[in-house]
Chains A and B, each alone.
Chain A
Amino acid sequence: MEGNVVKESYNWVPSFGVNLGFTLDGLSLLFCLMITGIGFLVFAYTSVYLHHHKYLDRFYGYLSVFMAAMLGLVLSDNVISLFTFWELTSISSFFLIGFNNTQEASRKSALTALGITGLGGMFLLAGVIVLGNITGTFSIAEMLNMSPELIKGHEYYTVAVILLFGAAFTKSAQFPFHFWLPGAMKAPTPVSTYLHSATMVKAGIYLVMRFTPVLGGEEIWNTTLIVVGAVTMLYSAFHSLFRTDLKGVLAYSTISALGILMFLIGMGTTESFTAAAVFIIVHALYKATLFLTTGIIDHQTGTRDVTVLSGLRKVLMPVGIAAIIAAISSAGIPPTIGFLGKELTYEATMHAPIIATLLVVGIVITKILLLWAGFVAGIKPFQGSLPESLKDTKMPGPFMWVPPILLAVLSLVFGIMPFIIEGSLIKPVVSALGGESGEIHLALWHGFNTVFILSLVTIAVGTTLYFVLKPSAKLETAVGKLEAASPKSLMEKFNVGFTYLSSFWTRVFQNGYLRNYVFIIIFFLIGMVGYTMIGNTKFNIDPSILSNVSFYELVVFIIMCIAILFTVFTSSRLSAVVAMGVVGLTICLVFVFYSAPDLAMTQFSIDTLTVILFVLVLYRLPRYLKIQDHKMRIRDGILSLMFGGLIAVLALEVLSEPVNTEIGDFYAENSYIMAHGKNVVNVILVDFRGADTMIEISVLTIAAIGVFGLLKLRLKRTDRVQ
């Protein structure tokens, strides 16, 4: 399989360079096997787990969609289709987490998970687009074939890396985005098994691995991965100590494992790649097993509280065996593959490019804590005496207990015979990551060396810890107090703050007061137009345009000014209406003076009608309000005057520009000769621009229908609510 690549492609949106291109290489194969293999077992397991559930069909539907999406994700050669499947996994995960959607907690977790992974999705989208910009292609294969210097030297390289990390860290629950994952444990256990430990959360790992050959190797890439991975693994391994819910323990240990993976990839050596590849398998096997057994315990006993559970080996023996094997693998005790994984990890860490010693300390502590977590999840429930309340616990059907057994057995088989996976899985993965796959040789026994000593220390300390420190509700509560500073609550606080900001912003602008809306709009207009005018216009108002003013024109001007001011400032509505009549008359006179008899006539008729309308409505309207707010008036007055002044200056500016009467001249020349009319204005209205008039009378008609409806239509009480 090594080096063999299977390709299949279908052009989807070629304009974007988007195709459904699928490539099966070593990396894809590893993930494909996990997805289909564990998927198959989970499907079987679910048939019993949700046997009588009303919506089992729905559940299978979502699960199938998820599986398809996940496969698509790891097989895509095109980053856009990769993103598409990425989002589909988020959405199907949303539906699966929220499967018990009538429970508030379930909905909330689903929302949180979608929120975080959705945010990551946005990063991914931006990231792949930037990558597309850098490389000029959306095809991963083509990116891989490009000279890395071209990409890494590009100015957007860092942006692309940050964006991709954003996507990967959220999806793979890295600190500080990790908190959605424990929340996602609200989903039915098969979901937790499948999505939140084995597959979906590894999509981020996949992404980073996939792009390691393209973007990896730079300091920002490696350091970020190591630091984030290290913090994540330590932080969540530590946190798993304080859980009493089995799934909580598992969730935190999963996060920790994901951190380890990031950490390993970040080191960027063949050793670390090998370790990562092996650890993916290790983790998938033992964590899936533990989840499945936890599911069985939950399903059969009705509780997951680890402080209550004990002695179940007496009633659930096969399950117990699977769980214990998984726990041993998790602890890295031979002959499980877990041991191999741990050894490789220590080995790789010791050769880390930076601060190797510190990192070794970190990884050892993490492993110790994970040992504890694995024991608590896999051994503690089966150990000791069976409490009275759990005496009636029955074995579930074989579809439920066979899958974990199978997985547990695989942990053993691969541990004992690592060559099975060496050539078929590990080497292809490492070479896909750009490592030297030739150097790899997997074996359980590496000899007595530093790594082995570290392993021994890990096991010893971990086991001791297991016996000393029992999970307890007290501890959980105690650590709960620290929650205030955790990323989750910080995020929640941010959430609250942002919601507050949102409400505030919305209320400030959308405050319900029409006058404020108008004020803002006009203010905006003045600002924009004023800025432009001050910056650009010449203020060269041509004095020749100001033809002499006759006395009667001046009088018309004065009357109109006074009438307008009177309209504005009178305290009687009726006086305002009458004053508007005066305004109308003076406008009419202006039209007469300046050669527009048609306009004068129309203006006057319409003014008369407006007065009539007002009069018919006015006595049903209230008198003016007696609200005196001088500050407001002055503010509005200044704004209005600025607005008016702006328009006036604008008008004068335009008037000093040369005039072009081409169109009017055409009308005038052809009005009689071609359109048989001598009143050019009328000819324009009914002929040259008759379309305007046609529409205009439609406007009038609609207005009339509207008025009619507005006044005549009274909804019946029954209709009012419709």
Chain B
Amino acid sequence: MKNRFVSNILLTFVWVVLTGDFHFSNYLFGFVLSYVILMVITKGSRKAKYFTIVPKLIFFVLYFVKELVKANLEVAWEVMTPKLNMTPGIVKVPLTVQSDVGITLLANLITLTPGTLSLDVSNDKKVLYVHAMYIKDKEEFIAGIKNGFEKRILEILK
């Protein structure tokens, strides 16, 4: 996977130098172009990982942005309305992801989303303690995280 990525970058540079156009858009174009070429010319099982992960990554980012906007609006509403209708609390979310990177990524994404805050991960890495503004139902909340961010992270890190 790493090799692919490096090749991709190198090809991008070759493209940029060849065309002599050093603008950002040309880099981007070169990257996409060499990505496609690499995808085409690579065979075998190793192919799968790098070339499936990039689209997943893109979708993941989009998903995150969606969540971000949604939560932002939610919190905005909360702040604007005169009465506080929150039901906050700290929820223990059991973790499926085991790698440090995965846990960190998950925790950070949760934090970045307004209204929720990853307080800490237990030392045995089994649970994540999340502070949230709206906990209508604990199980539902946990499921939301597990089926949302966590599932996608697991996919990417597979």
Q: So, do A and B actually touch in the complex, CB under 8 Å? A: no
